């Protein structure tokens, strides 16, 4: 099956009692047994849930796992309460004191879990390395490296990793190393890391998989039977599973993943071109632009370039702030991958938990703006961004002249930021 058929049918079967085409939301926490230990395969909902299974089987097949049901009941797909809970499960596969190589440009919360949780609680020794440069990666990786964690494209600088080259180099140094790719930005529509030699794919399902900004979740997929058994054990033993309702929402979202990603990519390409020719933009980063330093790799490794764009607005923090406060269709908010367009300031928002010196080295500056291009009409989106540029020029924001439709009445400082 091709991908746009797979997103509808892969791993799915009608519900056996009623024939329901979409799996019901099975909320039961437990299942009746005929005799102690004699049951239908479902014992307790942390361990087994039919709605979660339907999602897990779907994402396993989308990411290219070829495991059969006898290898693993959900073909190597696993649902978690959030993207970071899925990462937590990966860390539990390691042993205290293990060595980790992590791409330096990753989501702020991924950096935070490694540096501020796992280094302390598990003694993991994490090296942050620019894995977009395979030679640098090879120098950092040792025969003792137990885990390699990359994102491609990365959050927020949209750097790419040559996944095939990284996998080959890593396995040559340590055949037992665990290779994980966070595929949240690309989605399986645009890139399938397992087919390129990675062991595990990770997603924040909160983003493109869910697709409607109404659910928080995470998934892991592996095509390796032994690894699937270990992840299954830890998913149940640690227990941060995705709820039946959330599983249903993500599965429902995935049904339109193919059409959504096509539209996200088309509109982001148009907007990236437009931004690149704008006099108030210093630099645009989008893997689909010929100016992206890894554009040839993007064309080779990806089937589409996705809906995420970052750019540097000319000026300083004041210009960036006025821009962000003045757009109306782009909602100023963390997260990404929904049908609605979002805009954010990584240095203050999503990547505030990255140490300031590391942010500087990565280029996450005060003028960096990140767009998650939604599926609205692209001309309306471009008109909206024009308002931002006008406000950045005019030294006032546009809020008084045109209030955000249905938007928050006023902005308060958030209580207790999550650094």
Q: Which residues bind ligand P1T (CB under 6 A)?
A: 82-84, 107, 109-110, 151, 155, 182, 184, 204, 206, 216, 218, 334-336, 350
The nearer residue to ligand P1T, 337 or 398, going by C-beta atoms, is: 337
Active site residue 377: no
User: 115, 104 in Cβ contact below 8 A?
Assistant: no
Q: How far is the CB of 301 from ligand P1T (least distance, A)?
A: 17
Which one, 284 or 332, has the nearer CB to ligand P1T?
Answer: 332
Task: Kindly state the smallest distance separating residue 86's Cβ from ligand P1T, in Å.
Answer: 8
**Given 207, 263, 321, 359, the catalytic residue:** 207
User: Alpha-carbon distance 183 to 232, whole Å?
Assistant: 20
Q: How far is the CB of 306 from ligand P1T (least distance, A)?
A: 12
**Which is catalytic among the residues 72, 104, 182, 199?**
182
Using Cβ positions, the residue closest to ligand P1T within the complex turns out to be: 83
| Minimum gap (Å) between residue 142 Cβ and ligand P1T | 25
Query: What's the distance, Cα to Cα, between the start and end of the chain in Å?
Result: 43
Closer by beta carbon to ligand P1T, 12 or else 113: 113
* DSSP strand pairing (218-222 vs 77-80): antiparallel
359 Rama sector, left if φ>0, alpha if ψ -120 to 50, beta otherwise: alpha
For the question of residue 207 being annotated catalytic, the response is: yes
User: What is the token pair recorded at 83?
Assistant: 């993207």
In whole angstroms, the minimum distance from the beta carbon of 354 to ligand P1T comes to 11
Residue with tokens 């900004």: 213
Q: Rounded CA gap, 295 and 301, in Å?
A: 10
Catalytic residue among 31, 46, 225, 270: 46
Instruction: Assess whether 255 carries a catalytic annotation.
Output: no
The dihedral formed by the CA atoms of 60, 62, 65 and 66, expressed in degrees to the nearest 10: 110
Q: Of the candidates 263, 390, 262, which has an alpha carbon nearest to the alpha carbon of residue 326? A: 390
Sheet with 178-182, strands from edge to edge, namely: 77-80, 218-222, 200-204, 178-182, 145-151, 99-103, 125-129
Active site residue 246: no
What letter would DSSP give residue 242?
A: P
* Nearer to ligand P1T among residue 184 and residue 341 (C-beta): 184
Active-site entry in 52, 88, 104, 107: 107
Nearer to ligand P1T, 165 or 364 (CB): 364
Catalytic residues: 46, 107, 182, 207
């Amino acid at each position: 099956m091709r991908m746009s058929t797979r997103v509808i049918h892969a791993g799915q079967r009608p519900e056996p009692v009623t024939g329901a085409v979409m799996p019901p939301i099975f909320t039961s926490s437990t299942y009746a047994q005929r005799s102690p230990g004699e049951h239908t395969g479902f014992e307790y909902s942390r361990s087994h849930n039919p709605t979660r299974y339907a999602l897990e089987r779907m994402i396993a097949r989308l990411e290219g796992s070829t495991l059969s049901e006898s290898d693993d009941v959900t073909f190597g797909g696993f649902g978690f309460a959030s993207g970071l809970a899925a990462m937590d499960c990966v860390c539990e596969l390691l042993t205290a004191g293990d060595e980790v190589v992590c791409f330096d440009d990753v989501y702020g919360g991924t950096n935070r879990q490694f540096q501020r949780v796992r280094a302390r609680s598990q003694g993991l020794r994490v090296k942050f390395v620019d894995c977009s440069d395979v030679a640098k990666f090879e120098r950092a990786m040792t025969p003792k490296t137990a885990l390699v964690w990359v994102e491609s494209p990365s959050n927020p600088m949209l750097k790419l990793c040559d996944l095939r080259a990284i996998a080959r180099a890593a396995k040559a140094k340590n055949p037992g190393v665990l290779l994980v790719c966070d595929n949240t930005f690309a989605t399986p529509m645009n890139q399938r890391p397992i087919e390129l030699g990675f062991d595990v794919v990770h997603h924040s399902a909160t983003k493109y998989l869910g697709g409607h900004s109404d659910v928080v979740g995470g998934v892991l997929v592996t095509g390796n039977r032994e690894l699937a058994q270990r992840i299954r054990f830890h998913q149940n033993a640690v227990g941060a599973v995705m709820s039946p309702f959330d599983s249903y929402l993500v599965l429902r979202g995935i049904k339109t993943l193919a059409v959504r990603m096509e539209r996200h990519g088309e509109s982001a390409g148009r907007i990236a071109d437009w931004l690149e020719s704008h006099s108030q933009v210093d630099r645009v980063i989008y893997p689909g632009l010929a100016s992206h330093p890894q554009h040839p790799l993007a064309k080779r490794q990806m089937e589409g370039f996705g809906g995420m764009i970052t750019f540097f607005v000319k000026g300083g923090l004041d210009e960036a702030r006025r821009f962000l406060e003045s757009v109306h269709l782009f909602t100023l908010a963390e997260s990404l991958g929904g049908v609605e367009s979002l805009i954010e300031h990584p240095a203050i928002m999503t990547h505030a938990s990255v140490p300031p010196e590391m942010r500087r080295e990565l280029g996450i500056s005060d003028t960096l703006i990140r767009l998650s291009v939604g599926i609205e009409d692209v001309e309306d989106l471009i008109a909206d961004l024009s308002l931002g540029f006008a406000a950045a020029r005019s030294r006032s924001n546009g809020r008084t002249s045109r209030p955000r439709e249905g938007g928050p009445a006023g902005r308060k400082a958030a209580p207790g930021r999550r650094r």
